[in-house]
Amino acid sequence: MEKFSTITGIAAPMPLVNIDTDMIIPKVFLKTIKRSGLGVNLFDEMRFDRQGNEIPDFVLNKPQYRDAEILVTGDNFGCGSSREHAPWALKDFGIKSIIATSFADIFYNNCFKNGILPIVLPQEAVDVLMKDAEKGANARMTVDLENQTVTTSDGESFSFEVDSFKKHCLIEGLDDIGLTMEKAAAIDTFEAAASQARPWV
């Protein structure tokens, strides 16, 4: 998993509440177990019409937001089913951080496991960040995980809380497999001792 430290990038404003995982990645695209390739179908029913043409008014189809790395969105983001494909699609599109007043619990935890930083801030702070995001590609927002701050293009900064273990995993680029591999030497030692003690196993 890619290490996360500080990003300064385009933030896309998506002022909608209760964006569920089926909106993020519709169930028709859940036929793969690969983490790559789902970005093209992110928000599919909002991005494209029935003929597969882009809907110009959708934020991620606008030229100034095509390279967005940050989403500023509404309350209860990621609700609905627990599909891990949702953070996979966001990550594959290029989204590295999502800012909202609240997230669905399973989606929130899945984000950390897939290298995305979900940030919870009060409504007043999200409102300021939403307005900053609405300025377009020239307004670059900075997310600093080490110092736990989000800074607008005008320099206004907001602090956020994050679990210390989840923060460590993101900064070090450790998913569940990476965490296990950190203990590889201890696992090998245990398996060698177990094999010697119980050779019939």
Report d(CA 82, CA 111) in Å as an integer: 11
- Strands in 15-89 per DSSP E: 70-73
Q: Where are the domains of the chain?
A: 6-175
Cα-to-chain-centroid distance, residue 81: 16
pLDDT digits (tens, 9 = 90+) for 126-158: 999 999 999 998 889 999 999 999 999 999 999
The continuous run of DSSP H or E covering 130 comes out as helix 123-133
Question: What strand order describes the sheet that includes 117-120?
Answer: 117-120, 97-100, 70-73, 6-14, 140-144, 149-151, 157-159
Instruction: Label residue 177 by pLDDT band (50, 70, 90).
Output: low
DSSP string, 182-200: TTHHHHHHHHHHHHHH-TT
Task: Give the range among 26-35, 125-134, 186-195 with minimum mean pLDDT.
Answer: 186-195
- Strands in the chain per DSSP E: 6-14, 70-73, 97-100, 117-120, 140-144, 149-151, 157-159
In 3D space, the residue among 93, 90, 31 whose CA is nearest the CA of residue 103 turns out to be 90
pLDDT of residue 20: 97
Name the CATH topology of 6-175: Aconitase; domain 4 (3.20.19)
Whether pTM > 0.85 for this model: the answer is: yes
pLDDT of residue 30: 82
Report d(CA 44, CA 96) in Å as an integer: 19
β-pairing verdict for 157-159 and 149-151: antiparallel
Question: Average pLDDT of the chain?
Answer: 90
pLDDT digits (tens, 9 = 90+) for 48-76: 999 999 999 999 999 999 999 999 999 99
pLDDT of residue 188: 60
